[in-house]
Protein backbone atom coordinates (compact mmCIF):
# COMPACT_ATOMS: atom_id res chain seq x y z
CA UNK A 1 0.00 0.00 0.00
CA UNK A 2 2.84 2.41 0.87
CA UNK A 3 4.40 1.75 -2.52
CA UNK A 4 1.13 2.63 -4.24
CA UNK A 5 0.87 5.94 -2.41
CA UNK A 6 4.51 6.73 -3.17
CA UNK A 7 3.87 5.97 -6.84
CA UNK A 8 0.90 8.36 -6.87
CA UNK A 9 2.85 11.10 -5.09
CA UNK A 10 5.63 10.89 -7.66
CA UNK A 11 3.16 11.33 -10.49
CA UNK A 12 1.38 14.19 -8.70
CA UNK A 13 4.60 16.08 -8.03
CA UNK A 14 4.56 18.07 -11.30
CA UNK A 15 1.16 19.53 -10.38
CA UNK A 16 2.68 21.06 -7.27
CA UNK A 17 4.80 23.21 -9.54
CA UNK A 18 2.12 24.68 -11.78
CA UNK A 19 1.63 27.77 -9.63
CA UNK A 20 5.25 28.75 -10.23
CA UNK A 21 6.90 30.00 -13.41
CA UNK A 22 8.39 26.86 -14.90
CA UNK A 23 11.64 27.13 -16.84
CA UNK A 24 10.16 24.60 -19.24
CA UNK A 25 7.25 26.87 -20.21
CA UNK A 26 9.40 28.60 -22.79
CA UNK A 27 9.68 25.40 -24.83
CA UNK A 28 6.01 24.36 -24.66
CA UNK A 29 4.61 24.01 -28.14
CA UNK A 30 2.13 26.86 -28.69
CA UNK A 31 0.09 28.30 -31.49
CA UNK A 32 0.01 31.98 -32.47
CA UNK A 33 -2.33 32.79 -29.54
CA UNK A 34 -0.07 31.13 -26.96
CA UNK A 35 -2.35 28.09 -26.57
CA UNK A 36 -0.51 24.87 -25.74
CA UNK A 37 -1.46 22.06 -28.13
CA UNK A 38 -1.21 18.26 -28.07
CA UNK A 39 -0.61 17.48 -24.41
CA UNK A 40 -1.83 14.02 -25.46
CA UNK A 41 -2.12 12.64 -28.99
CA UNK A 42 -4.83 10.10 -28.17
CA UNK A 43 -8.29 10.66 -26.73
CA UNK A 44 -7.29 8.08 -24.12
CA UNK A 45 -4.08 8.02 -22.11
CA UNK A 46 -4.51 4.26 -21.79
CA UNK A 47 -7.75 3.57 -19.92
CA UNK A 48 -8.48 7.08 -18.71
CA UNK A 49 -9.77 9.86 -20.94
CA UNK A 50 -7.19 12.50 -21.84
CA UNK A 51 -7.90 16.22 -22.24
CA UNK A 52 -7.64 15.90 -26.02
CA UNK A 53 -10.88 16.85 -27.79
CA UNK A 54 -12.43 15.89 -31.12
CA UNK A 55 -12.48 19.01 -33.30
CA UNK A 56 -15.71 20.59 -34.49
CA UNK A 57 -17.52 18.51 -37.14
CA UNK A 58 -15.01 15.68 -36.87
CA UNK A 59 -16.18 12.11 -36.35
CA UNK A 60 -14.04 9.52 -34.57
CA UNK A 61 -14.44 5.77 -34.62
CA UNK A 62 -12.41 3.94 -31.97
CA UNK A 63 -11.99 0.21 -31.41
CA UNK A 64 -10.88 -0.82 -27.92
CA UNK A 65 -9.72 -4.42 -27.69
CA UNK A 66 -8.59 -6.24 -24.55
CA UNK A 67 -7.55 -9.85 -24.75
CA UNK A 68 -7.95 -12.17 -21.78
CA UNK A 69 -5.26 -12.60 -19.17
CA UNK A 70 -1.93 -13.68 -20.62
CA UNK A 71 -1.62 -15.94 -17.56
CA UNK A 72 -4.07 -18.40 -19.18
CA UNK A 73 -1.12 -19.68 -21.19
CA UNK A 74 -1.65 -22.04 -24.09
CA UNK A 75 -5.04 -23.21 -22.79
CA UNK A 76 -6.48 -19.77 -23.53
CA UNK A 77 -3.88 -18.94 -26.18
CA UNK A 78 -2.44 -16.30 -23.84
CA UNK A 79 -5.75 -14.44 -23.62
CA UNK A 80 -6.73 -14.47 -27.29
CA UNK A 81 -9.72 -16.73 -26.57
CA UNK A 82 -11.25 -14.33 -24.03
CA UNK A 83 -11.25 -10.95 -25.75
CA UNK A 84 -13.35 -7.93 -24.79
CA UNK A 85 -14.17 -5.35 -27.47
CA UNK A 86 -15.66 -1.86 -27.29
CA UNK A 87 -16.85 0.15 -30.31
CA UNK A 88 -16.89 3.90 -29.67
CA UNK A 89 -18.33 6.67 -31.87
CA UNK A 90 -17.53 10.32 -31.06
CA UNK A 91 -18.68 13.54 -32.73
CA UNK A 92 -17.33 17.04 -32.16
CA UNK A 93 -20.22 19.49 -31.94
CA UNK A 94 -17.58 22.15 -31.31
CA UNK A 95 -13.88 22.23 -30.50
CA UNK A 96 -14.89 22.23 -26.82
CA UNK A 97 -17.86 19.84 -26.73
CA UNK A 98 -17.97 16.17 -27.76
CA UNK A 99 -20.74 13.59 -27.50
CA UNK A 100 -20.28 9.84 -27.90
CA UNK A 101 -21.98 6.45 -27.77
CA UNK A 102 -20.35 3.04 -27.34
CA UNK A 103 -20.98 -0.64 -26.87
CA UNK A 104 -18.72 -3.00 -24.93
CA UNK A 105 -18.83 -6.78 -24.90
CA UNK A 106 -17.96 -6.68 -21.17
CA UNK A 107 -21.38 -7.26 -19.56
CA UNK A 108 -22.85 -6.22 -22.94
CA UNK A 109 -22.63 -2.63 -21.76
CA UNK A 110 -23.92 0.39 -23.69
CA UNK A 111 -22.82 3.89 -22.72
CA UNK A 112 -23.26 7.51 -23.70
CA UNK A 113 -20.82 10.22 -22.67
CA UNK A 114 -20.17 13.93 -22.95
CA UNK A 115 -16.89 15.81 -22.76
CA UNK A 116 -16.51 19.59 -22.34
CA UNK A 117 -13.35 21.69 -22.23
CA UNK A 118 -13.62 24.54 -19.76
CA UNK A 119 -10.21 26.09 -20.31
CA UNK A 120 -7.05 25.31 -22.28
CA UNK A 121 -3.47 25.75 -21.17
CA UNK A 122 -1.87 28.90 -22.55
CA UNK A 123 0.59 31.62 -21.60
CA UNK A 124 -1.80 32.91 -18.93
CA UNK A 125 -3.22 29.66 -17.52
CA UNK A 126 -1.10 26.69 -16.42
CA UNK A 127 -3.42 23.75 -17.15
CA UNK A 128 -6.16 22.42 -19.43
CA UNK A 129 -9.39 21.53 -17.61
CA UNK A 130 -12.01 19.20 -19.13
CA UNK A 131 -15.21 17.74 -17.67
CA UNK A 132 -16.25 14.20 -18.59
CA UNK A 133 -19.54 12.42 -17.84
CA UNK A 134 -20.61 8.90 -18.75
CA UNK A 135 -23.85 6.94 -18.31
CA UNK A 136 -23.62 3.17 -18.82
CA UNK A 137 -26.15 0.31 -18.94
CA UNK A 138 -25.32 -3.32 -18.13
CA UNK A 139 -27.68 -5.37 -20.31
CA UNK A 140 -26.23 -8.73 -19.22
CA UNK A 141 -27.38 -8.50 -15.61
CA UNK A 142 -30.24 -10.92 -14.94
CA UNK A 143 -32.43 -12.21 -12.13
CA UNK A 144 -30.33 -15.29 -11.19
CA UNK A 145 -27.45 -12.95 -10.32
CA UNK A 146 -29.53 -10.64 -8.11
CA UNK A 147 -31.99 -13.33 -6.97
CA UNK A 148 -34.78 -10.80 -7.49
CA UNK A 149 -36.33 -8.75 -10.25
CA UNK A 150 -33.80 -6.59 -12.08
CA UNK A 151 -34.62 -2.88 -12.01
CA UNK A 152 -33.32 -0.17 -14.34
CA UNK A 153 -31.26 1.30 -11.52
CA UNK A 154 -29.44 -2.01 -11.08
CA UNK A 155 -28.23 -1.87 -14.66
CA UNK A 156 -27.12 1.75 -14.52
CA UNK A 157 -23.75 3.23 -13.64
CA UNK A 158 -22.48 6.75 -14.14
CA UNK A 159 -19.16 8.53 -13.87
CA UNK A 160 -18.17 12.17 -13.35
CA UNK A 161 -14.56 13.25 -13.88
CA UNK A 162 -12.53 16.42 -13.95
CA UNK A 163 -9.49 16.02 -16.20
CA UNK A 164 -6.62 18.41 -15.44
CA UNK A 165 -3.55 18.21 -17.68
CA UNK A 166 -0.34 20.15 -18.05
CA UNK A 167 2.19 19.94 -20.83
CA UNK A 168 5.46 20.39 -18.97
CA UNK A 169 7.65 20.42 -22.06
CA UNK A 170 7.61 19.39 -25.70
CA UNK A 171 8.12 15.78 -24.60
CA UNK A 172 6.36 15.41 -21.23
CA UNK A 173 2.69 15.79 -20.23
CA UNK A 174 0.91 14.85 -17.00
CA UNK A 175 -2.75 14.61 -16.00
CA UNK A 176 -4.80 14.38 -12.81
CA UNK A 177 -8.35 12.89 -12.80
CA UNK A 178 -10.52 13.28 -9.66
CA UNK A 179 -13.42 10.87 -10.18
CA UNK A 180 -16.81 10.00 -8.73
CA UNK A 181 -18.68 6.96 -10.02
CA UNK A 182 -21.83 5.12 -9.03
CA UNK A 183 -22.70 1.49 -9.71
CA UNK A 184 -26.33 0.43 -9.40
CA UNK A 185 -25.17 -3.14 -8.89
CA UNK A 186 -21.88 -3.89 -7.15
CA UNK A 187 -20.56 -7.48 -7.48
CA UNK A 188 -19.05 -7.31 -3.98
CA UNK A 189 -21.93 -6.67 -1.55
CA UNK A 190 -20.00 -4.69 1.14
CA UNK A 191 -18.91 -2.12 -1.45
CA UNK A 192 -20.73 1.23 -1.42
CA UNK A 193 -22.54 2.05 -4.64
CA UNK A 194 -21.07 5.56 -4.54
CA UNK A 195 -17.32 5.38 -5.11
CA UNK A 196 -14.43 7.81 -5.42
CA UNK A 197 -11.10 7.53 -7.22
CA UNK A 198 -8.10 9.64 -8.09
CA UNK A 199 -6.50 8.99 -11.45
CA UNK A 200 -3.04 10.07 -12.51
CA UNK A 201 -1.45 9.69 -15.92
CA UNK A 202 1.36 10.84 -18.11
CA UNK A 203 2.93 10.81 -21.54
CA UNK A 204 6.60 10.87 -22.54
CA UNK A 205 7.35 11.51 -26.21
CA UNK A 206 10.01 9.10 -27.45
CA UNK A 207 10.19 10.20 -31.09
CA UNK A 208 8.13 11.97 -33.73
CA UNK A 209 5.71 9.03 -33.93
CA UNK A 210 6.09 7.17 -30.64
CA UNK A 211 5.25 7.99 -27.02
CA UNK A 212 5.14 6.07 -23.74
CA UNK A 213 1.89 6.44 -21.77
CA UNK A 214 0.89 5.39 -18.26
CA UNK A 215 -2.19 5.80 -16.08
CA UNK A 216 -3.25 4.61 -12.62
CA UNK A 217 -6.49 4.87 -10.64
CA UNK A 218 -6.40 4.95 -6.84
CA UNK A 219 -9.78 3.81 -5.45
CA UNK A 220 -10.45 5.89 -2.34
CA UNK A 221 -13.24 3.95 -0.61
CA UNK A 222 -12.86 0.33 -1.63
CA UNK A 223 -14.49 -2.09 0.80
CA UNK A 224 -12.25 -4.28 2.96
CA UNK A 225 -11.78 -7.73 1.48
CA UNK A 226 -12.77 -6.65 -2.03
CA UNK A 227 -11.41 -8.88 -4.81
CA UNK A 228 -10.99 -5.85 -7.05
CA UNK A 229 -7.81 -3.80 -7.44
CA UNK A 230 -6.64 -0.41 -8.64
CA UNK A 231 -6.16 -0.20 -12.43
CA UNK A 232 -2.58 0.28 -13.64
CA UNK A 233 -1.83 0.49 -17.35
CA UNK A 234 1.21 1.20 -19.49
CA UNK A 235 1.39 1.49 -23.25
CA UNK A 236 2.82 3.01 -26.39
CA UNK A 237 1.17 5.46 -28.80
CA UNK A 238 2.03 5.06 -32.48
CA UNK A 239 0.99 7.86 -34.86
CA UNK A 240 0.32 6.65 -38.39
CA UNK A 241 -1.34 9.01 -40.82
CA UNK A 242 -4.99 9.55 -39.94
CA UNK A 243 -5.03 7.59 -36.70
CA UNK A 244 -3.27 6.86 -33.42
CA UNK A 245 -2.60 3.22 -32.62
CA UNK A 246 -2.18 2.43 -28.91
CA UNK A 247 -0.65 -0.83 -27.63
CA UNK A 248 -0.69 -1.54 -23.91
CA UNK A 249 -0.73 -3.87 -20.94
CA UNK A 250 -3.21 -3.39 -18.10
CA UNK A 251 -4.65 -5.22 -15.11
CA UNK A 252 -8.21 -4.13 -16.04
CA UNK A 253 -10.09 -5.78 -18.88
CA UNK A 254 -13.18 -3.49 -18.95
CA UNK A 255 -12.73 -0.36 -21.08
CA UNK A 256 -15.52 1.92 -19.82
CA UNK A 257 -14.99 4.07 -16.74
CA UNK A 258 -16.99 2.36 -13.97
CA UNK A 259 -15.79 -0.98 -15.32
CA UNK A 260 -12.04 -0.47 -15.12
CA UNK A 261 -12.25 1.64 -11.93
CA UNK A 262 -14.52 -0.70 -10.00
CA UNK A 263 -13.95 -4.14 -11.51
CA UNK A 264 -10.25 -4.60 -12.27
CA UNK A 265 -9.07 -8.03 -11.12
CA UNK A 266 -5.63 -8.48 -12.70
CA UNK A 267 -2.39 -8.66 -10.75
CA UNK A 268 0.84 -7.26 -12.18
CA UNK A 269 2.82 -9.15 -9.53
CA UNK A 270 1.92 -12.61 -10.85
CA UNK A 271 1.52 -11.82 -14.54
CA UNK A 272 -2.29 -11.73 -14.46
CA UNK A 273 -2.54 -8.84 -16.94
CA UNK A 274 -4.23 -8.10 -20.25
CA UNK A 275 -2.72 -7.08 -23.55
CA UNK A 276 -4.80 -4.79 -25.71
CA UNK A 277 -4.96 -1.99 -28.21
CA UNK A 278 -6.95 1.15 -29.01
CA UNK A 279 -7.29 2.02 -32.69
CA UNK A 280 -8.82 5.37 -33.64
CA UNK A 281 -9.80 6.73 -37.03
CA UNK A 282 -10.94 10.28 -37.75
CA UNK A 283 -13.34 11.24 -40.54
- What structural domains and CATH numbers belong to the chain? 2-17+33-282 (2.40.160.40)
| DSSP-derived secondary structure for the chain | -HHHHHHHHHHHGGGGGTTS--GGGGGS-B-TTS-B--S-SSSBSSSSB-S--PPTT-EEEEEEEEEEEGGGGGGGGGGGGG-EEEEEEEEEEETTEEEEEEEETGGGEEEEEEEEEEE--BTTBS-EEEEEEEEEEESS--HHHHTSPPPHHHHEEEEEEEEEEEE-SSSEEEEEEEEEEEESS-SSTTS-SEEEEEEEEEEEE-SSSEEEEEEEEEESSPPTT-S----EEEEEEEEETTEEEEEEEES----SHHHHHH----BGGGTB-EEEEEEEEE-
pLDDT given for residue 75 in this prediction? 57
Nearest to 151 by CA among 138, 161, 132, 167: 138
Cα separation, 104 vs 254, whole angstroms: 8
pLDDT given for residue 83 in this prediction? 79
User: Per residue of the chain (283 residues), what is the pLDDT tens digit?
Assistant: 434 444 444 444 444 334 333 323 333 344 556 888 879 999 999 999 999 999 999 999 999 988 877 665 555 544 455 678 999 999 999 999 999 999 999 889 999 999 999 999 999 999 999 999 999 999 988 867 676 788 888 899 999 999 999 999 999 999 999 999 999 999 899 999 999 999 999 999 999 899 999 999 999 999 999 999 999 999 999 988 767 899 999 999 999 999 999 999 999 998 889 999 998 888 8
Say how many C-beta atoms besides its own lie within 10 A of residue 11's C-beta.
19
Contact assessment for residue 167 and residue 121, using Cβ atoms and an 8 Å cutoff:
yes
Pairing of strands 243-250, 274-282: antiparallel
User: 92 has which bridge partners?
Assistant: 98
pLDDT given for residue 17 in this prediction? 39
Amino acid sequence: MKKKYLFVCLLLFPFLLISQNSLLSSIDKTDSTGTVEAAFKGLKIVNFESTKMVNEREFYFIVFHRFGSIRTGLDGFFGLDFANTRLHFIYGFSDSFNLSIARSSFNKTYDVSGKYRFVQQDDNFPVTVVGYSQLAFNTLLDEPVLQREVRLGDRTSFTQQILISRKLSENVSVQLMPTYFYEGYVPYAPQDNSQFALGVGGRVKLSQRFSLNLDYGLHLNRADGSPFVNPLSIGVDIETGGHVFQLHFTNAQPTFESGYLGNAIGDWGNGDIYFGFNLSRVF
